[in-house]
Amino acid sequence: MKIIKKHIRLPLSMVDDTLGPYCMSYNFSLTALINSIKMHGIINPPLIVFKRGKGRAHVVSGYRRVIALKQMNQSETDFFDVTESGMSEKELLMLNLYENLTIRELNPVEKAMVISNLSKMVSEDEVIEFMPHINLSSDKRLYNIFIEILSYPDDIKRSIASGHIPVKTLQSLSDKFNGESRKIILDLISKLKLSFNYQLQFIDILKDISFNKKQEVIDILNDPGIVAVIKRDKMNPPQKAKAIMETLKEMRYPVLRRFQREFSRRISTLDLPEGIRIEPPPYFESDQFKFEVRFSNEDELRKNLNRILRIKGLNRITDIT
């Protein structure tokens, strides 16, 4: 289809800057764009369309340029009006999508915006079939995950858009929890700034506790010990994350954690020399302990071995199992 573009100049007040049906911009910085506009002006005018019965124009492409100009307190600018092209909603969306894909990779929230907008124009099956065009597999479960993204609060969406919460985490949550529980878990992951591996551990241990104790996620995370850690202002996010994981492990493995604490207490009474460490058997399921000796030469090794022979009270740790 030939795109009929009519060059016009409009007051920015006549352009709707809300996230419309063609928009796919989220979690972006305008600094570089504003600097470019200050130096060179608008090189590529935004595309707009007027809808019947509505006085303000809708941005088809160039949403960031419009927002940047408004932040710069510009009163008007040049546009290309594509209303007379007679393009359908889907065609306008695709026009903006492919313009974006030629210059950048969409972040997960922006892909969710494309999927959500497209789902209002065509059938679900058509959207799923289209998903490989934005580097997603044609998968119904993945479709549902991306549709749900837009229902999350902005702090969670920003974490997803930045990559701090990867799509793999969303997939893991989708397999294990219902919608409300997913939102609660993502909120805590976002606030604690958990690393990806920690996110998966956090999800798995919550699932185990929920299954074994027949508890909802909100009830688990309302444990007084966890609530107290979250509210502790003097702890930074990594410290809070570690403390909460320790509490969850206590819930999940109460007997093992009791053994671990007792083992650590008894080890502390031995006054082990530097360079010597004693490790318990895995899960305390056998009576085989392990000595670790660090040394840099033969003489140091001999000294450490002699120290081991002089350690008293080893029976205090070997009878723990």
Is 65 within 8 Å of 33 (Cβ atoms)?
yes
Best-predicted range by mean pLDDT among 159-168, 173-182, 212-221? 159-168
C-alpha count within 13 angstroms, C-beta hemisphere, residue 141: 9
Q: CA-to-CA distance for 228 and 305, rounded, in angstroms?
A: 45
Q: Shortest CA distance to 318 belongs to which of 283, 292, 281, 293?
A: 281
Domain boundary among 211, 228, 252: 252
For residue range 37-65, list pLDDT tens digits in order: 999 999 999 999 998 766 789 999 999 99
* Angle at 50 (CA atoms; ends 26, 14), nearest 5 degrees: 70
List of residues 6+ apart from 125 with CB closer than 8 A: none
Are 98 and 109 contained in the same domain?
Answer: no
Q: What is the arithmetic mean of pLDDT over 240-262?
A: 81
Q: Which residues pair with 10 in a beta bridge?
A: 77
pTM: 0.79
Calpha distance 163→169 (Å, rounded): 10
Predicted local confidence at residue 162, as pLDDT? 96
| Sign of CA pseudo-dihedral 107, 113, 119, 121 | negative
User: Does 160 map to a domain?
Assistant: no
Query: In sequence order, which residues have a C-beta less than 8 Å from that of residue 190 and are 6 or more positions away?
Result: 155, 156, 158, 159, 164, 165
Residue that the structure tokens 């065609």 belong to: 91
Sequence-distant (6+) residues with CB within 8 A of 252 are: 205, 208, 209, 212
How would you classify residue 284: left for phi > 0, otherwise alpha for psi between -120 and 50, otherwise beta? left
Q: Are 169 and 220 part of one and the same domain? A: yes
* Domain co-membership, 211 together with 282: no
Examine the fold and report which residue of 122, 151, 180 is the final residue of a domain before the chain moves on: 151
Query: What does the pLDDT average to over 313-317?
Result: 74
- Which of 202, 222, 252 is the endpoint of a domain? 252
Q: Does 90 share its domain with 113? A: no
Is 191 in the same domain as 219?
Answer: yes
Instruction: Determine the Cα–Cα distance for residues 1 and 86; give it in Å rounded to an integer.
Output: 10
One DSSP character per residue, 243-306 reads HHHHHHHHHH-HHHHHHHHHHHHHHHTT-PPTTEEEEPPGGG-SS--EEEE--SSHHHHHHHHH
**DSSP labels for 177-244?**
--HHHHHHHHHHHHHHT--HHHHHHHHHHHHHHHHHHT--HHHHHT-HHHHHHHH-TTS-HHHHHHHH
Higher-confidence position of 250 and 40: 40
If you count them, how many residues does the chain have?
321
Q: Residues of the chain with pLDDT > 90: what percent? A: 65
Q: For the residues 95-123, what does the mean pLDDT come to?
A: 96
Indicate whether 9 belongs to any domain: yes
pLDDT grade for 303, boundaries at 50, 70 and 90: confident
Check whether residue 45 and residue 57 sit in a common domain. yes
- Domain housing 146: 105-151
Both 109 and 96 in one domain: the answer is no
**Residue 261 counted as domain residue:** no
Q: How many domains does the chain have?
A: 4
Q: What is the pLDDT of residue 255?
A: 65
